Chain A
């Protein structure tokens, strides 16, 4: 699965890790909905880490569309509230 971290890069992520990403995604949405800022930052960092660690960066001249686009790493809690609520980044 191709994942983009907004304002950073695109990565090719193995399917197993995509499933893990989806779980973290549900948690981060739950944290935002619960208004838990610390938890949001913690889980969001884990998501970014997972993609950066397990993913392989795409070549610069590769023209591929991402299946998932994560918000910019410096997304604030307030921005997150506006961006991902409800079904989250990866709709089930």
Chain B
């Protein structure tokens, strides 16, 4: 809803006045503002649906990454047991990278959850104000002369208009943030398409562009630690499942 978001009270008031100037007949103005209010309520619902869609998309990515982490860990283990430390290191670098992404996804999903909750609350509040306006407009139409009605309408419309502008602003801010997350999700999908999380480790020598990039992105000491852990595990013959627990990733990262 372009133009709904934005500035301070003066701007909001200017918008309301514009709305009221649209019709000279007070009862027409009332109907017109009510119609506008209902339209905005629809927009708010759509905005909430957008937030939910973004969240679902991020959650899907979370699942994929979780699977990748498990898979890469297994591959590192296999590579190491065959004496290919270079391959194991590459797999662990990719795993570290995926874990980093996973952590930031967790945060983003949490943020979207709270935005969703607050928008639903705001939608409810706006709905109450619009209901109140609807009641009031019938009273105004029935009881007041044209001149008096104009004043009453202006008062009632200002109250609900301000709420509309405010929920518009909240929507705008939520969607702007969601946009940023989408861009990040898109970038990750590109990386994925380019093979950053590719299963087929054996085909690369471990020095292609993606590996160089991952090498820069991942924490080398974390990879070293991980490698040591795997070596120790393989050496002592402990069960490999231990590192595959999803809850393990926070501690490792």
A residues adjacent to B (C-beta < 8 A): 4, 6-7, 60-66, 68-69, 71-72, 74, 83-84, 89
**Nearest 9 interchain pairs by C-beta:** A63-B159, A7-B170, A60-B128, A65-B158, A61-B132, A69-B9, A61-B128, A64-B159, A63-B156
CA distance A72 to B55 in the complex (A): 23
13 contacts between A and B (CB under 8 A): A6-B170, A7-B166, A7-B169, A60-B124, A60-B125, A60-B128, A62-B159, A63-B132, A63-B160, A65-B155, A65-B159, A68-B9, A69-B162
**Contact partners of B124 in chain A: CB under 8 A:** 60
Contact count A vs B, C-beta below 8 Å:
52
**B229: interface (CB < 8 Å):** no
Residue among B118, B129, B133 with most chain A CB within 10 A: B129
**Contact partners of A69 in chain B: CB under 8 A:** 8-9, 12, 162
User: Which residue of chain B has the shortest Cβ distance to A64 in the bound complex?
Assistant: B159
User: Which residue of chain A has the shortest Cβ distance to B12 in the bound complex?
Assistant: A69
**Contact partners of A72 in chain B: CB under 8 A:** 169-170, 173
**B84: interface (CB < 8 Å):** no
**B228: interface (CB < 8 Å):** no
Tell me the minimal C-beta distance from A11 to chain B in angstroms: 13
Q: Are B166 and A63 in contact (CB under 8 A)?
A: no
**B136: interface (CB < 8 Å):** yes
Can you name 7 extra interface pairs (CB under 8 A) apart from A61-B128, A63-B136? A4-B166, A6-B166, A60-B124, A60-B128, A60-B129, A63-B160, A69-B162
Q: Are B8 and A66 in contact (CB under 8 A)?
A: no
**Contact partners of B212 in chain A: CB under 8 A:** none
* Majority-rule SS of A interface residues: loop
User: Which residue of chain A has the shortest Cβ distance to B177 in the bound complex?
Assistant: A74
Interface residues on B, range: 20 to 34
**Contact partners of B166 in chain A: CB under 8 A:** 4, 6-7
User: Which residue of chain A has the shortest Cβ distance to B8 in the bound complex?
Assistant: A69
Q: Are B173 and A84 in contact (CB under 8 A)?
A: no
**B225: interface (CB < 8 Å):** no
Tell me the minimal C-beta distance from A68 to chain B in angstroms: 7
**Contact partners of B9 in chain A: CB under 8 A:** 66, 68-69
CA distance A72 to B213 in the complex (A): 39
CA distance A68 to B12 in the complex (A): 11
Of residues 166 through 194 on chain B, the ones whose CB sits less than 8 Å from some CB of chain A are 166, 169-170, 173
Contact with A along B8-44 (1 / 0, CB 8 A): 1100100000000000000000000000000000000
